[in-house]
């Protein structure tokens, strides 16, 4: 989107804009992608190759990172997941209107239900408006663009590494989303104060929700289910073993969490 007014809006209204390509600004405030101020790994625990909010290295993405760090840094992983889903949706050509609607809904959900994201209410509204207004050319171009090959295996869950690796072969159109699920699990697991059981449940639900962002694919469904069953077999948390009932995870009715 080569549009001066959109760039001006980006600078005036702190926001998180996803999937947009704006011309570099001559502003002396430009920050290098190597700057600590835009180091997503240091700021949010998100490796640069898995950061999905923005068009890639450059001024626009740097601004997004800085604005998010100022307003709602603890929600960065959640918003980045919204961007990952949007990436996959565009790549799969699931309908631009639906992709944008889901993207806006994802951000809105976190603003409403996540206290860490509440401060980014105005930014997400602005980002949503720009994506809906200017996303067409990027949606059209996405069908010709190669899928981002960046992967992530859940480092804090080594017992499922082998099965998780198979997901990328079985679910070739869901790379960004599947990688983001694994990343967010690791971030949750490593964050002080988070119950490891809840991180596992959220991980389960993240994988289960991927069917909403793709066409029916029995091979992908089967691979995800294998990971989920492997996950609930034994979940080691601080020396304890937690047994979860998969059906309750999928039905959003977690009542059975038993330490044995």
Q: Tens digits of per-residue pLDDT, 47-98?
A: 999 999 977 667 777 888 999 999 999 999 999 999 999 999 999 899 999 9
Quick one: 135 and 164 in the same domain? no
Quick one: 123 and 186 in the same domain? no
* Residue of 122, 130, 103 lying closest to 8 (CA atoms): 130
Quick one: 12 and 138 in the same domain? yes
Stretch 224-245: mean pLDDT: 66
Quick one: 122 and 184 in the same domain? no
For 161-171, the pLDDT digits (tens) are 999 999 999 99
Query: Phi/psi class of residue 31: alpha, beta or left (left: φ > 0; alpha: ψ in -120 to 50)?
Result: beta
Is the pLDDT at 236 greater than 80? The verdict is no
Residue-number span of the structural domain to which 225 is assigned: 158-254
Note the Cα 109 to chain centre separation in Å: 13
Q: What is the model's pTM?
A: 0.78
Is the pLDDT at 159 greater than 70? The verdict is yes
Judge whether 189 and 155 are in contact, CB under 8 Å.
no
22 or 89, higher pLDDT: 89
Stretch 198-209: mean pLDDT: 94
- What pLDDT is attached to residue 17? 42
Last residue of a domain, one of 87, 118, 142: 142
Quick one: 69 and 26 in the same domain? yes
For residue 260, being part of any structural domain is answered with no
For residue 150, being part of any structural domain is answered with no
CA distance 35 to 119: 24
For residue 153, being part of any structural domain is answered with no
- Count of domains forming the chain: 2
């Amino acid at each position: 989107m080569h549009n001066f007014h959109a760039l001006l809006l980006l600078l005036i209204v702190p926001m998180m804009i996803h999937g947009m390509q704006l011309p570099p600004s001559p502003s002396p405030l430009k920050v290098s992608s190597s700057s600590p101020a835009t180091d997503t790994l240091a700021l949010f625990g998100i490796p640069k190759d898995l950061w999905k909010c923005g068009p890639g290295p450059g001024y626009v993405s740097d601004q997004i990172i800085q604005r998010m760090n100022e307003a709602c840094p603890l929600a960065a992983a959640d918003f980045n997941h919204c961007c990952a889903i949007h990436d996959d949706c565009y790549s799969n050509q699931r309908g631009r209107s639906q992709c944008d609607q889901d993207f806006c809904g994802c951000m809105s959900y976190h603003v409403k239900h996540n206290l860490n994201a509440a401060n980014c209410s105005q930014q997400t509204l602005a980002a949503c408006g720009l994506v809906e207004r200017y996303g067409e050319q990027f949606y059209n171009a996405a069908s010709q663009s190669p899928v981002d090959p960046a992967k992530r295996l859940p480092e804090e869950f080594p017992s499922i590494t082998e099965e998780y690796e198979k997901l990328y072969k079985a679910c070739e159109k869901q790379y960004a989303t599947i990688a983001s699920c694994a990343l967010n699990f690791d971030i949750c697991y490593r964050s002080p104060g988070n119950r490891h059981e809840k991180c596992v449940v959220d991980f389960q639900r993240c994988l289960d929700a991927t069917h909403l962002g793709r066409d029916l694919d029995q091979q992908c469904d089967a691979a995800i289910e294998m990971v989920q069953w492997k996950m609930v077999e034994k979940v080691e948390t601080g020396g304890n073993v937690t047994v979860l009932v998969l059906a309750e995870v999928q039905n959003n009715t977690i009542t059975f969490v038993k330490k044995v």
